[in-house]
C-alpha cells in the first residue's frame, strides 16, 4: 500500500543499491542530493531495474528487464499514481533487453507521465541503426541530461539532437570538509606513507595494471609509496567464485615485487569510508583504457576530495582536468604515469595547489548543486512547478566552533582551515555572540554558554577606559596593532553594543553573571555611543540599545536612541528624493540596518515620521535588491550610486543576512505577510537561488562561503560569512517554529525538532 503524501513524486528507472554498479550509486547520490535540497516538496521513488525476478521487492516499483511483458505493466502502475509528476530514466544501453535495449520502447509507449533521460553512454560516430534508435528514444521526451560538454556536442553533431532539449549537468561530487592528506592519513594509520590510490568496481576497463607497472619507477623516487587499490571486483566478472582480473593484478604485484607498496582494499566501501581514503590520497591514479568513456564518477569523486590527479586521456578527463589540477597521460603508458607521479612527488607545493584547484573546481558539481540544476529542468517539464520548494538544511555549528579558540573567533579561513595569522576582530566576535545567543534561545543547549562567554569576554577586553573599543587583536594576543589605528572603528564599536544588547535581551534564560557582565560593558559604552556619526553605526548601536531598553527600561538609553536617530533622520531628509528614498547617495553593505534603526526609533518615541521613513526606505531597498521576486545583493565591486546602474556580481552573505534580519524586525512589528515572504526569498539565496544556482554553505560543517562572484563561489569560510549564514538559518528556524507545533528535544545538536 502506498503512503499518502502531498509531495510531488519523481520516479527513477534505474538499478539501485544493494546492486553494485556505478549507475546504482549514481542514482542513490542523485536522490540524496534532491532530497537534501527539496525533500520538503519532492519525494523520489525507485523503479528498480533487475535482471531476474525479485522475491521481495524493496522499492516502489520493480522491472525485471529480461521479461518483456513487465515494461508496459510497470508503466501502467506508475500512471495510476497521480502524485508522480515525472519519470527520470537512467539510460545505459546494457540495462535494457533487446537490440540496443529497445524493449524500453514498450515502457515509453505506455507511460503517460513526462519523461527525461540521463545518458550515461554517448557513443560517437554511431551507425545508422544506433542513431535512429537514440533519436527515437528522445521523441518520447523533450529533455535529456548528459554529464560533459563533449557528450552534448556528440548528440548535436552525430545524432542531430536539438540543443535546446539537452542539459549538461556534471557528475555529482560529495562535499567534504577540506583538510590536508596528512590529517586524513593519521586516522587511517598510514601517516608515514606517500599515498597513491585508485578506486571503483575493478575490471579490465579500469586498467589497474598500468598503475602497477608504473610503480617500480615511482618507488625508486619514493620508497615509502603505498598504492591503494580500493574496491571489489565487478560482480559480473566473478565466475564460479573465480576472480580472474584480481588474480592477474596480484600476479603483477608478485612479479614486480611490490608487496610492500600495494594494498588491495577488497570491499565495497560506504561513501564516508571511501571519502576518508580519498582525503588521505597524495596522488590519484586514473588509468581507465576506454577512449570513449563519456564520464567517470571515480575521477569526479577524487577531484572533489582535493586529490591531485594523474589520468588517462578520456573525453571526461580531457574536458575537466586542466594543467593546474592534474596531469594527463596517454592510455596504457606506464612510463608516462610514472613520470607524472614523480613530478608531483618532487614538488609538494604543486601537489597542494593542484589538490586545492581540483577541490575548488568540483564544488560547483556537488550533489546539492547537481540537484538544483536537475530540478530547475524538471520544473519546465511538470505541472505546477511552483509547488517545488527548498528544504532547510540542518543547523550545524561544527565550523564556527572550529574557528573559535579560547580567545575568540578567528577572522579568516583558507577554505575550511582556520587562518590563525588573520587574528581576531571585535566585529566577528560581536556577530558570533549574537548568533550563539539566538541558538541558545532556541535550543537551551548548555554547550552554547561556553562560547557565549568566550565572545563576550573578547568584547569586554577590547573595551577602552572611555567606553569605546579596539577592533583587532592578533594571534599573539597583542592589541596595539596597526589595524586599530587604520580602520574607522565606529561600525565595529557599534556592533559590539548590538551584541551586548542581545545578551541582555535573553537575561531571563542566562546565568546572572553572564548578562550582568554584558549590561555593565554596555552601560560603560554609552558616553561614547552618544556621539556616533556614521549611518550604519547609528543603526547597529540603536539595535543593541533598543534590545537593552526593551529588557531593562532606561531613560538615558531611550534618549540616546532618540538623539542618534534624529541624526539619521536628518541624513534622510537631506538626501531622499522621490525616486531615491534613502539616507545616503549610495547603497553599500548591510543596508537593512538603516530602515531597521528608524523602526526602533518609532517603537521607542512613537513619532509617525520615523514610521513613515522606516517603511518608505525599506520599500526602496526592496525595490533595489529583489529582482523578479529573487534576492540580489548590492555588488561590492562598486556600490550602487544614485543615478547610476548597479553593478552585478560580487555578492556577500552579510547583505543577505541583514536583509533577513530587517524583514524579520518589520514582520514582528507590523505582521505584514509580504515581509515573511521576502525573508524566505532572501534565504533562498543561500540555498541556491542565485545567478550560479549554487549553494552558499557547507552542509557538512555549517561553514558559510565568503562570496558569490561572476563565475564562481569563493569557498573560503571565514567568521563573517559563517556567522551570517548561521544567523540567517536561525532566523528561518524561528520563523518556522512560530508557525508550527514545537516539540523541543533535549540536547539536540542540530537545532530543534519541528513538526508541521
pLDDT digits (tens, 9 = 90+) for 644-669: 777 788 899 999 999 999 999 999 99
**3, pLDDT greater than 80:** no
Note the pLDDT of residue 434. Answer: 98
Plot region of 634 (φ>0 → left; ψ -120 to 50 → alpha; else → beta): beta
For the stretch 698-736, pLDDT in tens is 999 999 999 999 999 999 999 999 999 999 999 999 998
For the stretch 272-302, pLDDT in tens is 899 999 999 999 999 998 887 778 888 999 9
Query: d(Cα 632, Cα 628) in Å, to the nearest integer?
Result: 10
Tell me the chain's radius of gyration from C-alpha atoms.
Answer: 29
Residue 704, helix vs strand vs coil:
strand
Distances (CA, A) of 667 to 235, 287, 597, 604, 610: 59, 58, 14, 17, 16
Query: d(Cα 86, Cα 374) in Å, to the nearest integer?
Result: 12
Strand partners, 59: none
All domains in the chain, ordered by first residue: 8-168 (3.40.50.2000), 181-365 (3.40.50.2000), 398-755 (1.50.10.10)
Q: Tell me if 694 sits within 8 A of 170, measured CB to CB.
A: no
Query: d(Cα 95, Cα 93) in Å, to the nearest integer?
Result: 6
Which carries the bigger pLDDT value, residue 265 or residue 748?
Answer: 265
Query: d(Cα 540, Cα 737) in Å, to the nearest integer?
Result: 26
Element (H, E) at 137: helix 128-137
Q: Tell me if 605 sits within 8 A of 555, measured CB to CB.
A: no
Q: Tell me if 722 sits within 8 A of 399, measured CB to CB.
A: yes
Of 461, 441, 454, 455, nearest to 507 by C-alpha is 441
Quote the strand ranges of 403-513, DSSP E. 410-414, 417-425, 472-473
Q: Tell me if 287 sits within 8 A of 208, measured CB to CB.
A: yes
Distances (CA, A) of 541 to 309, 494, 544, 596: 51, 5, 5, 11
DSSP-derived secondary structure letter, 205: G
Neighbours of 555 (CB within 10 A): 8
Distances (CA, A) of 345 to 91, 196, 419: 40, 10, 26
Going by pLDDT thresholds of 50, 70 and 90, the confidence category of residue 236 is confident
Mean pLDDT of the chain: 92
User: Average pLDDT for residues 688-695, to the nearest whole number?
Assistant: 95
CA 270, 271, 276: angle at the middle one, nearest 5?
105
Neighbours of 270 (CB within 10 A): 9
- The b/e string for 82-113 (b: 16+ C-beta within 10 A; e otherwise) is eebbbbbbbbbbebbbeebbbbbbbbbebbeb
Of 182, 188, 189, 152, nearest to 167 by C-alpha is 152
**CA dihedral for 377, 380, 386, 388, sign (positive or negative):** negative
Going by pLDDT thresholds of 50, 70 and 90, the confidence category of residue 477 is low
**753, pLDDT greater than 70:** no
**167, pLDDT greater than 80:** yes
Element (H, E) at 405: none
Neighbours of 571 (CB within 10 A): 17
Of 538, 655, 532, 519, nearest to 587 by C-alpha is 655
Query: d(Cα 730, Cα 392) in Å, to the nearest integer?
Result: 10
Query: d(Cα 608, Cα 614) in Å, to the nearest integer?
Result: 10
Q: Tell me if 337 sits within 8 A of 309, measured CB to CB.
A: no
Query: d(Cα 573, Cα 584) in Å, to the nearest integer?
Result: 10
Burial class (CB in 10 A: 0-12, 13-18, 19+), 666: buried
Note the pLDDT of residue 650. Answer: 87
Note the pLDDT of residue 484. Answer: 58
Query: d(Cα 246, Cα 202) in Å, to the nearest integer?
Result: 8
Going by pLDDT thresholds of 50, 70 and 90, the confidence category of residue 439 is very high
DSSP-derived secondary structure letter, 605: H
Distances (CA, A) of 492 to 122, 452, 476, 500, 578: 56, 18, 21, 12, 32
* Percent helix / strand / coil, the chain, rounded to 5: 50, 15, 35
**164, pLDDT greater than 80:** yes
Note the pLDDT of residue 750. Answer: 37
Q: Tell me if 102 sits within 8 A of 130, measured CB to CB.
A: no
Residues 6+ apart with CB under 8 A from 605: 561, 562, 565
Q: Tell me if 650 sits within 8 A of 635, measured CB to CB.
A: yes
Query: d(Cα 532, Cα 278) in Å, to the nearest integer?
Result: 53
Record the cell numbers describing residue 66, joined without a space.
529480461
Residue 699, helix vs strand vs coil:
coil
For the stretch 564-587, pLDDT in tens is 999 999 999 999 999 999 999 889
Strand partners, 263: 228
Residue 647, helix vs strand vs coil:
coil
Query: d(Cα 316, Cα 735) in Å, to the nearest integer?
Result: 44
Cell 532530497 belongs to residue? 35
Record the cell numbers describing residue 339, joined without a space.
613520470
**631, pLDDT greater than 80:** yes
Quote the strand ranges of 528-651, DSSP E. 586-587, 626-627, 630-631, 640-641
Three-state SS sequence of 300-316: HHHHHCCCCEEEECCHH
Quote the strand ranges of 375-433, DSSP E. 410-414, 417-425
Strand partners, 70: none
* H-helix segments, 283-347: 297-304, 315-320, 334-346
Query: d(Cα 698, Cα 701) in Å, to the nearest integer?
Result: 6
Q: Tell me if 735 sits within 8 A of 664, measured CB to CB.
A: yes
For the stretch 370-383, pLDDT in tens is 999 999 999 999 98
For the stretch 27-82, pLDDT in tens is 999 999 999 999 999 999 999 999 988 888 899 999 999 999 999 999 999 999 99
Record the cell numbers describing residue 343, joined without a space.
613530478
Amino acid at each position: 500500500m502506498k503512503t499518502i503524501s502531498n509531495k510531488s513524486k519523481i520516479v527513477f528507472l534505474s538499478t539501485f543499491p544493494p546492486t553494485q554498479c556505478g549507475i546504482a550509486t549514481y542514482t542513490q547520490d542523485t536522490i540524496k542530493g534532491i532530497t537534501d535540497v527539496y525533500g520538503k516538496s519532492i519525494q523520489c521513488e525507485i523503479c528498480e531495474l533487475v535482471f531476474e525476478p525479485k522475491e521481495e521487492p524493496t522499492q516502489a516499483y520493480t522491472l525485471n528487464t529480461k521479461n518483456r511483458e513487465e515494461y508496459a505493466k510497470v508503466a501502467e502502475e506508475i500512471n495510476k499514481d497521480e502524485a508522480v509528476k515525472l519519470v527520470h530514466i537512467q539510460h545505459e544501453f546494457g540495462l535494457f533487453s533487446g537490440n540496443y535495449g529497445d524493449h524500453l520502447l514498450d515502457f515509453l509507449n505506455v507511460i503517460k507521465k513526462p519523461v527525461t533521460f540521463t545518458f550515461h553512454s554517448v557513443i560517437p560516430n554511431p551507425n545508422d541503426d544506433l542513431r535512429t534508435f537514440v533519436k527515437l528514444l528522445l521523441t518520447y521526451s523533450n529533455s535529456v541530461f548528459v554529464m560533459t560538454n563533449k557528450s552534448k556536442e556528440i548528440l548535436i553533431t552525430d545524432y542531430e539532437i536539438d540543443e535546446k532539449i539537452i542539459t549538461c549537468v556534471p557528475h555529482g561530487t560529495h562535499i567534504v570538509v577540506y583538510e590536508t592528506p596528512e590529517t586524513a592519513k593519521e586516522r587511517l594509520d598510514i601517516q608515514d606513507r606517500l599515498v597513491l590510490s585508485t578506486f571503483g568496481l575493478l575490471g579490465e576497463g579500469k586498467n589497474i595494471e598500468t598503475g602497477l607497472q608504473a610503480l617500480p619507477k615511482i618507488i625508486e623516487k619514493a620508497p615509502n609509496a603505498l598504492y591503494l587499490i580500493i574496491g571489489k571486483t565487478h560482480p559480473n566478472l566473478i565466475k564460479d567464485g573465480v576472480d580472474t582480473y584480481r588474480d592477474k593484478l596480484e600476479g603483477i604485484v608478485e612479479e614486480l615485487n611490490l608487496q610492500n607498496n600495494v594494498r588491495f582494499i577488497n570491499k565495497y566501501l560506504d561513501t564516508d569510508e571511501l571519502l576518508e581514503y580519498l582525503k588521505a590520497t597524495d596522488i590519484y591514479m586514473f588509468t581507465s583504457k576506454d577512449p570513449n568513456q563519456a564520464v567517470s564518477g571515480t575521477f569526479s569523486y577524487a577531484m572533489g576530495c582535493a586529490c591531485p590527479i594523474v589520468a588517462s586521456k578520456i573525453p571526461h578527463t580531457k574536458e575537466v582536468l586542466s594543467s593546474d589540477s592534474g596531469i594527463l597521460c596517454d592510455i596504457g603508458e606506464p612510463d608516462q604515469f610514472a613520470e607524472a607521479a614523480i613530478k608531483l612527488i618532487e614538488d609538494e607545493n604543486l601537489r597542494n595547489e593542484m589538490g586545492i584547484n581540483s577541490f575548488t573546481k568540483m564544488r560547483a558539481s556537488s550533489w546539492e548543486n547537481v540537484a538544483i540544476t536537475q530540478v530547475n529542468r524538471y520544473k519546465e517539464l511538470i505541472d505546477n512547478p511552483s509547488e517545488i520548494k527548498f528544504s532547510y538544511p540542518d543547523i550545524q555549528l561544527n565550523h564556527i566552533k572550529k574557528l573559535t579558540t579560547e580567545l575568540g573567533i578567528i577572522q579568516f579561513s583558507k577554505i575550511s582551515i582556520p587562518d590563525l595569522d588573520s587574528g581576531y576582530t571585535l566585529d566577528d566576535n560581536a556577530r558570533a555572540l549574537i548568533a550563539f545567543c539566538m541558538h541558545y534561545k532556541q535550543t537551551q543547549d548548555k554547550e552554547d554558554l561556553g562560547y557565549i562567554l568566550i565572545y563576550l569576554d573578547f568584547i569586554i577586553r577590547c573595551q577602552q577606559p572611555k567606553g569605546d573599543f579596539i577592533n583587532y587583536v592578533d594571534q599573539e594576543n597583542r592589541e596595539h596593532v596597526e589595524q586599530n589605528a587604520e580602520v574607522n572603528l565606529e561600525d565595529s564599536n557599534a556592533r559590539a553594543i548590538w551584541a551586548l544588547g542581545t545578551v541582555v535581551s535573553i537575561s531571563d534564560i542566562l546565568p546572572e553573571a553572564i548578562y550582568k557582565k554584558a549590561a555593565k560593558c554596555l552601560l560603560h559604552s554609552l558616553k561614547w555611543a552618544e556621539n556616533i556619526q556614521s549611518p550604519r553605526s547609528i543603526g547597529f548601536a540603536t539595535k543593541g540599545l533598543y534590545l537593552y531598553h526593551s529588557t531593562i527600561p532606561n531613560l538615558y538609553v531611550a534618549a540616546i536612541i532618540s538623539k542618534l536617530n534624529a541624526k539619521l533622520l536628518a541624513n534622510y531628509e537631506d538626501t531622499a528624493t522621490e525616486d531615491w528614498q534613502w539616507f545616503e547617495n549610495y547603497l553599500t553593505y548591510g543596508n537593512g540596518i538603516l530602515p531597521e534603526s528608524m523602526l526602533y526609533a518609532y517603537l521607542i518615541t512613537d513619532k509617525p515620521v520615523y514610521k513613515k521613513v522606516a517603511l518608505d526606505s525599506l520599500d526602496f531597498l526592496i525595490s533595489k535588491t529583489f529582482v523578479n521576486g529573487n534576492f540580489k545583493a548590492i555588488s561590492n565591486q562598486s556600490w550602487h550610486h544614485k543615478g547610476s546602474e548597479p553593478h552585478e556580481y560580487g555578492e556577500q552573505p552579510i547583505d543577505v543576512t541583514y536583509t533577513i534580519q530587517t524583514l524579520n524586525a518589520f514582520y514582528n512589528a507590523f505582521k505584514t505577510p509580504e515581509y515573511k515572504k521576502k525573508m524566505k526569498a532572501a534565504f533562498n539565496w543561500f540555498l541556491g537561488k542565485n545567478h550560479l544556482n549554487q549553494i552558499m554553505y557547507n552542509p557538512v560543517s555549517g561553514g558559510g562561503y565568503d562570496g558569490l562572484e561572476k563565475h564562481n563561489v569563493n569557498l573560503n569560510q571565514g567568521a563573517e560569512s559563517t556567522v551570517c549564514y548561521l544567523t540567517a538559518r536561525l532566523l528561518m528556524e524561528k520563523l518556522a517554529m512560530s508557525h508550527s507545533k514545537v516539540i523541543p528535544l533535549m540536547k539536540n545538536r542540530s537545532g530543534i525538532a519541528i513538526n508541521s
